[in-house]
């Protein structure tokens, strides 16, 4: 019996060590996301030469990634250290709001950025008149306002649902998991979700595809200099778009299909992919790819005059 007690104590100790290890990994990821995105936000805001449409859209993107990460990581860190893995309804819906606003603003901002790249490459002489600072401000404000209103409507349909269960098979709250717990008919929720997907999201995807089809057409018929400009300006955006698309795909698979046969750690990774990899990937991609941002970041870090 003493041997059994000793084994149990050792297992408990190793379990605590694992939790502390997970805590340190998650905390390191969060600090990396905060530092990287905050650095680029400061660089863009402080330097007037970066007050151009492309960089202002990037600034909105980085602010959104800080917002989405803050909606996930503090809650996740508390859950890792806590012995009781529960969450109050109000906190759960607050997390649903922040995560869904992040996902929608990210996608819409990437869509607006594809339109911006289309104007810059296909209409270079008219770009400054078509994409003015006022238009940039209106586009950014419209993206945030529209996404917040959409999430408020979506959540108002979910809050009134009477739930028959209280267990969510994910490491964070999401709206679809709440709807699946409902006792009564959720037809209105499903119709609203499908209507939004088939009208707004598909329209946005068509805009992105159209923009890049026109960009490819100009590249094939244009000069070598035009092709080089298109590649240098579109590569980070395309990489970010593809990375986010993978994250959304993993999230849909995780939510809609039975994943009980998949190892738990892989399920956690897939569910957190678009909330962790995208906020890390974007600052690194744009910071390393764009010479202007890279040089200004070095100036800020080493204390040189910007």
Residue-wise pLDDT for 290-301, tens only, equals: 666 667 666 666
Percentage of residues of the chain with pLDDT beyond 90: 22
Instruction: Pick from 116-120, 221-225, 269-273 the range whose average pLDDT is largest.
Output: 116-120
Q: Are 270 and 253 in contact (CB under 8 A)?
A: yes
Give pLDDT tens digits for 62-81. 999 999 999 888 888 888 77
In this prediction, residue 7 carries a pLDDT of 39
Is the pLDDT reported for residue 276 higher than 50? yes
In this prediction, residue 11 carries a pLDDT of 39
Is the pLDDT reported for residue 306 higher than 60? no
Angle between helices 187-196 and 133-159 (to 10 degrees): 160
In this prediction, residue 177 carries a pLDDT of 83
C-alpha angle 191-193-196 in degrees, rounded to nearest 5: 105
**Domain spanning 2-301: which superfamily?**
Rhodopsin 7-helix transmembrane proteins (1.20.1070.10)
Q: Which two tokens stand for residue 182?
A: 């409902």
In this prediction, residue 292 carries a pLDDT of 65
289 band by pLDDT with thresholds 50, 70 and 90: low
3-state secondary structure at position 163:
strand
Least confident of 40-49, 72-81, 199-208, 291-300: 291-300
In this prediction, residue 106 carries a pLDDT of 93
In this prediction, residue 109 carries a pLDDT of 94
The residues, any chain, with a CB within 8 Å of residue 45's CB and separated by 6 or more, are 59
Least confident of 9-13, 185-189, 241-245: 9-13
Q: What is the pTM of this model?
A: 0.87
Segment 19-44 shows an average pLDDT of 86
Least confident of 2-11, 34-43, 238-247: 2-11
Q: Which two tokens stand for residue 301?
A: 């870090």
Which has more confidence, 288 or 278?
278
Segment 249-269 shows an average pLDDT of 75
Give pLDDT tens digits for 81-110. 776 677 888 888 899 999 999 999 999 999
Distance CA 223, CA 227 (A): 6
Write the CA distances from 151 to 29, 98, 271, 276, integer angstroms.
27, 9, 20, 21
- If phi over 0 gives left and psi between -120 and 50 gives alpha, with beta otherwise, what is residue 303? left
Give pLDDT tens digits for 153-185. 999 998 888 888 777 777 788 888 888 888 878
Which has more confidence, 79 or 226?
79
Q: Is 248 exposed, middle or buried (0-12, 13-18, 19+ CB in 10 A)?
A: middle
303 band by pLDDT with thresholds 50, 70 and 90: low
In this prediction, residue 10 carries a pLDDT of 41
C-alpha angle 236-229-121 in degrees, rounded to nearest 5: 95
In this prediction, residue 77 carries a pLDDT of 84
Q: Which two tokens stand for residue 203?
A: 């329209």
């Amino acid at each position: 019996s003493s041997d059994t007690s000793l084994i149990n104590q050792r297992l408990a100790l190793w379990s605590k060590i694992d939790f502390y290890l997970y805590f340190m990994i998650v905390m390191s990821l969060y600090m990396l996301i905060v530092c990287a995105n905050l650095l680029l936000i400061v660089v863009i805001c402080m330097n007037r030469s970066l007050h151009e449409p492309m960089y202002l859209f990037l600034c909105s993107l980085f602010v959104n990634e800080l917002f989405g990460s803050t909606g996930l990581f503090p809650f996740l860190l508390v859950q890792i250290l806590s012995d009781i893995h529960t969450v109050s309804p109000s906190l759960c819906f607050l997390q649903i709001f922040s995560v869904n606003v992040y996902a929608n603003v990210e996608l819409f901002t990437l869509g607006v950025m594809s339109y911006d790249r289309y104007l810059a490459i296909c209409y270079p002489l008219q770009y400054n008149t078509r994409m003015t600072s006022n238009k940039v401000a209106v586009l950014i404000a419209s993206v945030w306002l529209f996404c917040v209103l959409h999430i408020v409507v979506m959540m108002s349909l979910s809050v009134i649902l009477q739930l028959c269960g209280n267990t969510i098979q994910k490491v964070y709250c999401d709206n679809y998991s709440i709807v699946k717990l409902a006792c009564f008919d959720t037809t209105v929720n499903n119709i609203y979700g499908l209507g939004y997907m088939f009208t707004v999201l598909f329209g946005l995807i068509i805009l992105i595809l159209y923009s890049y089809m026109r960009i490819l057409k100009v590249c094939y018929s244009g000069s070598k200099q035009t092709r080089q400009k298109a590649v240098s300006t579109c590569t980070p955006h395309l990489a970010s778009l593809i990375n986010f698309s993978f994250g959304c795909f993993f999230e849909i698979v995780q939510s809609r299909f039975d994943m009980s046969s998949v190892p738990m750690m892989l399920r956690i990774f897939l569910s957190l992919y678009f909330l962790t990899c995208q906020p890390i990937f974007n600052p690194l991609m744009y910071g390393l790819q764009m010479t202007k941002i890279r040089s200004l970041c070095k100036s800020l870090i080493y204390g040189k005059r910007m």
